[in-house]
Structure 1
């Protein structure tokens, strides 16, 4: 099923992304679409950082306190062309509700990645991670499967890992579950 819903590719650049082995997350299996891991079973996400496609520096500490949608994508990935505009629609609806989105562009060329985002109308930030180092920080995570989405709760714990295209309705369902857990902002 993964072959039908995700892509893989080869690294094409040597840009640097930093990761910290401070998290305790170990990937075991993907989460069913639209569902989240029970709060008591969640593990802490590792710290990571790098450069966004717009050239600014990024550190995962800036995600603290918010629910985060991390989406691993590549300009070469056909399913990403379907998923990214749907993620943008959700982002527009929840960006002021304590939910952040972060794309992680893997195994890509910067110019192709920038053209992809412009073409699909994605406005949320994306890390440029051509070597897939952010994915490797999430121990055991299938770094070569794109698109893949990780949801982090407001405490920085991994609340879901979807190793497939995530339809808009399923992403909204998972975010509604996580927002219901969070204290009011």
Structure 2
């Protein structure tokens, strides 16, 4: 659980990589006794968050415990986040009929291609669809990173101390120890995800 005691200032760290345009979207209203705020945008009646994503970062000493999650890709191949320790991980919550999920899909794919050779792992968590619909979405948007079907809520439950309820789309960046380093509640842009991943890759081991 993310139970670190934080100050308002400590939640969002300005870095040279996050430009002023990106920083304008950073969340600065996290309560002092929680790692991530629950006052981010929530899903509308259609079940998705519209508008630009709200970005929050945590300093390394404030990230709490690693995220534990295992399951199967839509291909049936098994995975375990614990086996990815040593590399950053991107977790993205989505479903096929979510318009912002369609908007952000190219940004996710471009960063997967950009950082895959650096060992960064990507995993989509599809919260509504079956395998056929999820795979059709990936084919439509040329997504080559894997997804799991999360209709039973295992993945969402693993992130319940990181994300507000029904926060789709959302993207969580884990550091090389598997701890939540940043989140974007709402659609993520190419430049934002690039900056967040560059930050965690540049951290000392």
Higher strand fraction (1 or 2): 1
Higher RCO (CA 8 Å, separation ≥ 6 residues): 1
User: Structure 1 residues 32 and 75, CA, compared in 2 at 3 Å: closer, same or farther?
Assistant: closer
TM-score (norm 1): 0.79
Q: Which residue of 1 aligns with 2:97?
A: 76
Separation in structure 2 between the aligned mates of residue 159 and residue 106 of structure 1, nearest angstrom:
22
Q: Do 2:63 and 2:179's aligned partners in 1 also have CA atoms closer than 8 Å?
A: yes
Unpaired runs of at least 5, structure 1: 10-30
SS at match of 2:106: helix
Q: Do 2:43 and 2:166's aligned partners in 1 also have CA atoms closer than 8 Å?
A: no
Q: Do 1:154 and 1:182's aligned partners in 2 also have CA atoms closer than 8 Å?
A: no
Residue 67 (str. 1) matches residue 67 (str. 2): no
Q: Do 1:50 and 1:58's aligned partners in 2 also have CA atoms closer than 8 Å?
A: yes
SS at match of 2:138: helix
TM-score (norm 2): 0.71
Unpaired runs of at least 5, structure 2: 1-39
Separation in structure 1 between the aligned mates of residue 189 and residue 142 of structure 2, nearest angstrom:
17
Superposition misfits of 4+ residues, deviation over 4 angstroms: 3-7
Q: Once the 2 structures are TM-superposed, how far is the Cα of residue 38 of structure 1 from its aligned partner?
A: 0.6
